[in-house]
Amino acid sequence: MISTWAHLGYLVAAVCFIVALKALSSPRSARTGNLLGAAGAALAVIVTFFAYKPDRVLAILIAIVIGSVIGVIGSRRVAMTHMPQLVALFNGVGGGAAALVALIELGHIESSQTVSGIATAFTILVGAISFSGSIVTFAKLQELMTSRPVTFPGLPVVFIAGLVGSIALSVWLVSNPVALVGVLLCVIGLAVGVMLVLPVGGADVPIVISLLNAFTGLTVAAGGYVLGNTLLLVAGTLVGAAGTLLTKLMADAMGRSVFNILFGALKGGSTLGGGEASDRPVISGGPEDVAILLGYAQRVIIVPGYGLAVAQAQHTLRDLVDELQSRGVTVDYAIHPVAGRMPGHMNVLLAEAQVPYEQLREMDEINGDFKQADVVLVVGANDVVNPAARNSPGAPIYGMPILNADEAKRVIFLKRSMRPGFAGIENELLYDPRTTLLFGDARDSLGKLLAAVKSV
């Protein structure tokens, strides 16, 4: 039994996690929430270290230092556009760690401890699924493998066989908690995780990251039960609940069910990545042409997307908006729930440029205003303004709620090329007579556009 002061320390850490999660729901308090959560995690480690007085202290300290160095260097060097990959890796490490701890704890569980056996089997299986699945999502987002759905003949049969086999091994492990059965369960879990994510492609990958994050949280909670650690139980439950809710919200924003996102490719209905550039004629213009449209507009709506993040053009965009507002132009940013590569991606990106939070308007709030907009400036976005989501039942994004940019009087697209968006399908809005395309890197184009607006 650990002492009363250790329980109090865990209580304080748990409160830190809960308050941090609440603070992370708003860009204004997100930084504070992140620091508070980190402080809670540090407190939990310190309390555990002194409460349990572990053996091999030197080895543990070396591991903590190595992990801390890797974490600090990795998080500082990662680009904003690669943040989802980092989240996938961190999530995978968490799931893998939970599975390893459960495997180690098998030696302390008796066959009569049914509940502990169930929790251990669950942790091993779901932790392994989360680990291997997260590695595949990382590879897809990092373009180490194709972002298109990967299927092969018999995949559904093999996947179902893996699920049935894992359930059978879990039952065996509960009745006979031996290391060999646990290792076999872990191996099958790794295979199931790979098969779960391979058929997912394109814009669906961030949703799967959120789902796997929920899996990791649940494994940590189950691991907390096995270890008799209340703090792990609380923290894991928070992560599991938050990840589950986020997955549901993201799926709703895509207009799809989670089942369809995971298994739609098996029947040809999943969102596809990639796609070839079109050679259809479009109306293109130079910075001076676009500057005239913007300079004489009364209402402008900005639609930021992943291309803005890739080009790191948020500061230049903010300067352009400031210039337009100094001329009396009303400007707002329209934020789609899945713009970028993860929820809140655009909010964080624009917050870096000190964009006032009041100007960031969510899709449901601003969609009715597009009809009054003189110009919509789409910077590096595509799928979130693609009318195919409303008009083309056969399109992979059909049913996904989109920003109503096609209702504006004029639309300007800043694009590097005519290559389709992450969903891999053409956007008919690009060929609309009201649409003008300005080709080039977003930061370079915005810089030229800013100079041209100032000269108008």
Catalytic residue among 289, 383, 406, 441: 383
Asked about 322 being catalytic, the answer comes back as: no
Nearest Cα to 331, choosing from 309, 350, 312?
350
Is there a contact between 384 and 338 (Cβ–Cβ < 8 Å)? yes
Provide the β-strand partners of residue 436.
412
Compute the half-sphere exposure of residue 175: CA atoms within 13 Å on the CB side of its CA: 5
Is there a contact between 362 and 249 (Cβ–Cβ < 8 Å)? no
195: CB partners within 8 A, 6+ apart: 155, 158, 159, 162
Question: CA torsion sign, 255 to 260 to 261 to 267?
Answer: negative
CA distance 284 to 409: 17
Is there a contact between 103 and 182 (Cβ–Cβ < 8 Å)? yes
Tokens of 456: 């108008």
Q: What is the DSSP string of 385-437?
A: G-THHHH-TTSTTTT-----GGGSSEEEEEESSS---TT----GGGGSTTEEE
Find where tokens 């969903």 sit: 423
CA distance 348 to 116: 41
Nearest Cα to 201, choosing from 124, 119, 279, 256?
256
Show which residues are catalytic. 383
